Amino acid sequence: MAELLRSLQDSQLVARFQRRCGLFPAREDTGEKPIVKNYFYYYLFRFSAALGQEVFYITFLPFTHWNIDPYLSRRLVMIWVLVMYIGQVAKDILKWPRPSSPPVVKLEKRVVAEYGMPSTHAMAATAISFTLLISTMDRYQYPFALGLTMAVVFSTLVCLSRLYTGMHTVLDVLGGVLITAFLIALTYPAWTLIDSLDSASPLFPVCVIVVPFFLCYNYPVSDYYSPTRADTTTIVAAGAGVTLGFWINHFFQLVAQPTPTFPVIRSIPALTTDMLVLGLTKFMVGIVLIVLVRQLVQNLSLQVLFSWFKVVTRNKEARRRLEIEVPYKFVTYTSVGLCATTFVPMLHRFLGLL
């Protein structure tokens, strides 16, 4: 068993996969980009890697909420936040290095400072795809085999992309998938309870803000700076904002609640031109408002924190300090989550898009 684990952690295994897919390192001391001999795999896995990044979740999850089913978006966000927090914390506790380069070609530079085990891309992709499958199979009428195939293909492509980009070993990816499978199985009996959290005590919003902020502020200390803490705060804060938004919607009856939290079998309507135009319009209106709110809250929170701690404005290094990074990220993305679930639907209603 020990020998198997060592082989799965071997960087040479990743390098061989890259070579089979037509990705080769540049010549030494040339400063050139890696050599790509198969552009089909290059674009396939670069696109697949993007499916596990912020740009996908900041579009897919709001689109699901505004155009498909808020019931599903709530479950997806809650499970996504849970697995991502555990995965990010596990990285900084285990402190396993990423594949060595050489022999591996690394195509992503931003996260190269993070540790490797487990792959949070693999965790997020597995969590999103299979939570969506489990939550819809008794709620919508569609061939289960088709849904299962799509979930497997989606998660597999994201997992393979982490090998192709040189960001993870095979063991990192398998570890991420297995941890997520365990968390889904462990939490599944409580999913119905999660669905009813928006009708909890008036003190519930305090817990939604205080507990996640505490977890982010007391994030494990790393040996050197990496974007892990900032990314974790972004994810947890967005989840807190979404949960708070659902509670506000229920408590003040601002927008229509997600249709029953118990399974209701529905047929999936045929996609028409009118539905497509309406969905894209709602999406564009929502994204514009979210971007504006994000920029406004981020600028205001940074100005307040810089003034409070007497830091020079626009000091990039100061943004990395714990007492500045966590509060400004948390406030910004809590506002984003709240905006997506409460203010955007209200704007949709005002514009006659609902």
What's the rounded Cα separation, in Å, for the pair 34 and 63?
Answer: 35
* Catalytic hit among 65, 168, 250, 348: 168
Whose CA is closest to 176, among 97, 231, 122? 122
What's the rounded Cα separation, in Å, for the pair 13 and 2?
Answer: 16
- In this structure, the number of other CB atoms found within 10 A of the CB of residue 198 comes to 21
Are 23 and 34 in contact, with CB atoms under 8 Å apart? yes
Handedness of CA 38, 44, 45, 49 (dihedral sign): positive
List the structure tokens of 336.
Answer: 């984003």
What's the rounded Cα separation, in Å, for the pair 231 and 219?
Answer: 11
113: helix, coil or strand? Answer: coil
Whose CA is closest to 121, among 28, 56, 204? 56
- Concerning whether 65 is annotated as a catalytic residue, the answer is no
Phi, psi torsion values for 23, nearest 5 degrees: -115, 120
In degrees, rounded to 5, the angle at the alpha carbon of residue 171 between the alpha carbons of residues 170 and 174 is 85
**DSSP states of 119-136:** -HHHHHHHHHHHHHHHHH
What's the rounded Cα separation, in Å, for the pair 354 and 335?
Answer: 23
Whose CA is closest to 345, among 249, 251, 235? 249
* Catalytic hit among 65, 121, 250, 348: 121
Are 211 and 330 in contact, with CB atoms under 8 Å apart? no
Classify residue 166 as left (phi > 0), alpha (psi -120 to 50) or beta.
Answer: left
Catalytic amino acids?
121, 168
